[in-house]
């Protein structure tokens, strides 16, 4: 993997990330393909219609169903899903923590019960890399120790310490695998934790960034804290991260969140928001959100966003989409997801272009002016 930083404008960065499967221009938004499919879309939609260069797969989900061994047998995520560009897979820790009724961390890993059949499983730093090895993702995330907030200072301190210990085990294990000729095309990112506490973030970032990871993520945000707390935390963390490695803000966010965090030096994002909102009838536009359920759209001949050139806006009226939504027709979910993801991917392209020409501040003002 190579990361070339092409331009900076203030703290905002434009770069190019090259994996064994695709060339990714940053800042980039990664659509979430939970179980090996971006919800309601197929690989052809992701490449030929949306031209997404990288998507995210959820290790927890794929491990439980169909099982990482099945995915491995079928040629890894690339062979299995036929999406031939890049995959980033998370560690599975977040879902083990949030979807399982019972999850418990100890010094070696996380015990959890499957949300599908209640069976018990144990994720260790090494185990989640083995799983991601089977999945064959281009970027693997390491296991981190998450804590439910609010938590005591002691518990947060323990989380930071464990996250660092697990990071050491992860990189040792990964480099040893590579020395044996395995996981050659796979890259490994660490995850900075510490909630919104500046001191914990500083400790976590400093400890992790000393290690030779291929990139670094900021985790544990967008979990209910005020937006400004997220922005402030990112702002204090990015300067602690290496300049010449990609920076990934996990699970973020709204269009405003993307703009604010690109401004603060983040290169990569993922979020279920564009696809989840699509399924709820909430559509993103250059002038803000639009709820297709509103009665006024029933005879509205305009596309979702007259300024949008996506697959859906080139073809269908708000009237037709409003009808499909009311009738719960499955094709609505695809058409709305195509629109929302096109909006997210387009927003990233606009920011990149502005950074490359040194006009990010102008872009930033215009972005908010259009939604006023």
Least gap, CB of 252 to a second copy (angstroms): 24
293 near a second copy (CB under 8 A): no
Phi and psi at residue 148, to the nearest 5°: -75, 130
In the β-sheet with 86-89, what is the strand arrangement from edge to edge? 28-30, 268-270, 247-249, 215-218, 187-192, 139-141, 86-89, 54-57
Q: Could you give the string, one character per residue 18-37, with x where binding to a second copy holds by CB under 8 A and - elsewhere?
A: -----------------xxx
Give 313: exposed, middle or buried? Use CB within 10 Å, 0-12, 13-18, 19+. buried
CA distance to 13, 46, 81, per residue, from 7 (Å): 6, 27, 34
Neighbours of 148 (CB within 10 A): 10
Closer residue to a second copy (CB): 36 or 265 = 36
Instruction: Identify the residue among 329, 359, 361, 362 touching a second copy (CB under 8 A).
Output: 329
Query: Any known ligand binding at 114?
Result: no
Bridge partners, residue 215, by sequence? 189
39 near a second copy (CB under 8 A): yes
117 near a second copy (CB under 8 A): no
Residue 58 has which token pair? 């959820």
Closer residue to a second copy (CB): 132 or 337 = 337
- Give which of 14, 11, 9 is closest to 246, Cα–Cα: 14
As a whole number of angstroms, the distance between CA 9 and CA 352 comes to: 10
Instruction: Identify the residue among 87, 269, 316, 367 touching a second copy (CB under 8 A).
Output: 316
Query: Any known ligand binding at 94?
Result: yes
Give 314: exposed, middle or buried? Use CB within 10 Å, 0-12, 13-18, 19+. exposed
* 9 annotated active-site: no
Instruction: Identify the residue among 124, 165, 317, 353 touching a second copy (CB under 8 A).
Output: 317
Closer residue to a second copy (CB): 139 or 313 = 313
What number of chain residues touch a second copy (CB under 8 A)? 39
Query: Any known ligand binding at 339?
Result: yes
Q: Is the dihedral of CA 134, 28, 259, 189 positive or negative?
A: positive
Stretch that binds a second copy, among 42-50, 94-102, 207-215, 255-263 (CB under 8 A): 42-50
Contact 340, 283 (CB under 8 A): yes
Query: Any known ligand binding at 310?
Result: yes
Closer residue to a second copy (CB): 35 or 290 = 35
As a whole number of angstroms, the distance between CA 353 and CA 58 comes to: 30
As a whole number of angstroms, the distance between CA 143 and CA 95 comes to: 11
Helices 255-263 & 360-371 angle (0-180, nearest 10): 160
Q: Is the dihedral of CA 117, 123, 126, 132 positive or negative?
A: positive
- Give which of 166, 271, 180 is closest to 213, Cα–Cα: 166
Instruction: Identify the residue among 26, 81, 137, 340 touching a second copy (CB under 8 A).
Output: 81
* 90 annotated active-site: yes
Least gap, CB of 325 to a second copy (angstroms): 11
The active-site residue out of 45, 138, 270, 305 is: 270
The active-site residue out of 9, 90, 145, 305 is: 90
Least gap, CB of 61 to a second copy (angstroms): 8
87 near a second copy (CB under 8 A): no
320 near a second copy (CB under 8 A): yes
295 near a second copy (CB under 8 A): no
Least gap, CB of 132 to a second copy (angstroms): 18
- Residues annotated within the binding site are 90-94, 144, 193, 220, 308, 310, 313, 339
The residues binding a second copy (CB under 8 A) are 35-37, 39-45, 61, 65-66, 70, 73-74, 80-82, 298-299, 301, 311, 315-317, 319-320, 322-324, 326-327, 329-331, 333-335
Annotated catalytic residues are 90, 270
């Amino acid at each position: 993997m190579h990361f070339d930083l092409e331009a900076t404008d203030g703290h905002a960065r434009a770069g190019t990330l090259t994996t064994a499967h695709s060339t990714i221009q940053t800042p980039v938004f990664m659509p979430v393909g939970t179980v090996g499919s971006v919800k309601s879309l197929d690989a052809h939609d992701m490449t030929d219609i949306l031209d997404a260069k990288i998507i995210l797969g959820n290790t927890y989900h794929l491990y439980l169903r169909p099982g990482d061994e099945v995915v491995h047998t079928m040629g890894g995520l690339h062979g299995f899903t036929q999406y031939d560009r890049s995959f980033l897979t998370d560690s599975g820790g977040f879902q083990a923590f949030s979807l399982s009724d019972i999850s418990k961390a100890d010094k070696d890993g996380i015990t959890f019960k499957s949300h599908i059949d209640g069976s018990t499983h144990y994720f260790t730093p090494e185990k989640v890399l083995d799983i991601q090895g089977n999945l064959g993702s281009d970027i693997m995330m390491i296991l981190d120790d998450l804590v439910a907030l609010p938590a005591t200072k002691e518990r947060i301190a323990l989380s930071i310490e464990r996250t660092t210990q697990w990071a050491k085990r992860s990189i040792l294990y990964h480099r040893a695998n590579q020395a044996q000729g395995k996981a050659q095309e796979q890259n490994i990112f660490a995850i900075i934790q510490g909630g919104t506490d500046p001191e914990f973030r500083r400790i976590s970032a400093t400890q992790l960034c000393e290690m030779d990871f291929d990139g670094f993520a900021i985790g544990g945000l967008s979990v209910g804290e005020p937006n400004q707390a997220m922005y402030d935390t990112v702002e204090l963390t990015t300067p602690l991260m290496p300049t010449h490695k990609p920076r990934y803000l996990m699970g973020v966010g709204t269009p405003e969140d993307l703009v604010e965090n690109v401004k603060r030096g983040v290169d990569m994002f993922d979020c279920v928001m564009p696809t989840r909102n699509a399924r709820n009838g909430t559509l993103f536009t250059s002038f803000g959100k639009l709820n297709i359920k509103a009665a006024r759209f029933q005879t509205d001949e305009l596309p979702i966003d007259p300024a949008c050139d996506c697959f859906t806006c080139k073809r269908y009226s708000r009237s037709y989409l409003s009808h499909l939504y009311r009738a719960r027709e499955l094709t609505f979910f695809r058409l709305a997801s195509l629109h929302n993801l096109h909006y997210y991917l387009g927003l990233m392209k606009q920011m990149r272009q502005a950074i490359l020409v040194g006009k990010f501040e102008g872009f930033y003002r215009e972005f908010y002016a259009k939604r006023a």
